[in-house]
Amino acid sequence: MVPLAVPNVLRHKYRHIDVRPIAGALGAEIHRVDLSQPLAEDVIAEIRRAFLDHLVIFFRDQKLTPPQQLAFAERFGEPMPYPQLRGLPECPLITAVIKLEHEHINFGGIWHSDTSYLERPPMASMLYAIEIPPYGGDTLFANQYVAYETLSDGLRKTLGSLTGINTSAKAEVSRTREDRLREAGAELKVLIGEHPVVRTHPETGRKSLYVNLGHTARFKGWTDAESEPLLEFLFHHQVQPEFTCRFTWQPGSLALWDNRCTLHNPVNDYHGFKRIMHRVTLAGDTPR
């Protein structure tokens, strides 16, 4: 494997916000910001810069109503409905992400990039903690720029010509939605999106690996059996510990992550406790 490149995450200085990296690969907490208040354009510009620099940003001790969370999300993009579940009755563009005390499977509990089976997958996702367990329930994030950059030249060349077939119906991730779909009286929608295995970020120009265990089923023009060995290698490679960060939630924590260059995995280690989060998904472009 190519030696791990150290991300240049400290290249920008900030005048209005306090940015504190939490790991070498990605992730930073932002302080000195009250998200319940209207923020000036120069503050939003610095938050967006930190988002692009660190790939996932976190805020602590926020007190947000659903409309306030949505208003903050709208400063970064266009909120879109989640394709599998309805949103909150009072705020349909916010989806409740819930695990109840008696449930053993958590929603989306596998490494994935949100809804990569759509023709235009989301640019970003925003998650706000309403109720958390007394321990556990952390979320892991993985840097897919570095996952791509640490592959050999030969494999990068091979992957550059491949298209991934992404589906909403892979068994591993479908199981994580069963409780919520059953509760809503809804059925799983089978959606399929074809995207380049290596995509170029439309804002940074950097290339990232764009496959994930949750949704990528095979390569276009390849059989499942032919695709499996290479996909298994990539699924393992892209979430090595040195590519990741881990976030411990508290009530009032908010995370905003870039779906174009990260994966995430909510850890399912809090059986017997309730966890309630509110998510906003921001519309993206067609991967290229």
3 state SS of 50: helix
d(CA 214, CA 15): 39
CA 270 remoteness from chain centre: 21
- Residue of 180, 199, 218, 279 marked active site: 279
Rg over CA atoms, the chain:
18
Nearest to 263 by CA among 110, 126, 131, 61: 110
**What tokens were used for 74?**
């709208």
279 labelled catalytic: yes
In the residue annotation, 114 being an active-site residue is answered as yes
Q: Which of 53, 54, 114, 195 is catalytic?
A: 114
Active site includes 18?
Answer: no
Q: Which of 53, 54, 112, 278 is catalytic?
A: 112
Is 288 designated active site?
no
Catalytic residue among 177, 201, 264, 278: 264
- Residue 161: which residues within 8 A CB-CB, separation 6 or more? none
Give the C-alpha distances (Å, rounded to integers) separating 169 from 24, 37, 117, 210, 245.
34, 40, 9, 18, 28
Tell me the catalytic residues: 112, 114, 264, 279
